[in-house]
Amino acid sequence: MFRNFDYRVDYVRSLRDRLIDGVLRFVPDVIINGPRGDMRAANNVNVSFLYVEGEALTVELSTRGIYVSSGSACTSRVLEPSHVLLAIGRKHEEAHGSILFKLSHYHTRKDIDYTLEVIPKAVERLRTISAWRKTHQDF
């Protein structure tokens, strides 16, 4: 039983790392929130997409079958950035564009590859209509 558990954790960790590496490779102006490697929970990917509203990205991704959350899990009914991200020093605008991906052993490499196809297009589209611009002085 423990061996199967360790295998599942390693598998989910490999999906997590694939997702993080792909987001960093394919999407400009992102910040990975939290540490990389063994210091990060195997199923957790939290990314701040600069110049994008996290809630808008959540909706955009859900229309394509990718379900994520934005803001603080403790205040999910309020459109406020995560207090945890603010506490670790993220600016309000950085934290407001954060998205949390939760992975499990039910996900596949194809799921991650599909997600990495959709995210860059969704972020690019939202950035073209966003009130936040790269020239914004807060960044």
Q: Is residue 134 domain-resident?
A: no
Provide the domain count of the chain. Answer: 1
Q: Is residue 33 domain-resident?
A: yes
CB-hemisphere CA count at 13 Å for 66?
22
Q: What is the CATH number of the domain that holds 81?
A: 3.90.1150.10
pLDDT-derived band at 134 (thresholds 50, 70, 90) equals low
Q: Is residue 138 domain-resident?
A: no
Q: Is residue 89 domain-resident?
A: yes
Q: Is residue 109 domain-resident?
A: yes
Q: Is residue 46 domain-resident?
A: yes
Question: What is the pTM assigned to this prediction?
Answer: 0.82
| Contact predicate 109/16, CB 8 Å | no
Tell me the pLDDT tens digit for each residue of 9-50: 999 999 999 999 999 999 999 999 888 888 889 999 999 999
Q: Tell me the catalytic residues.
A: 74
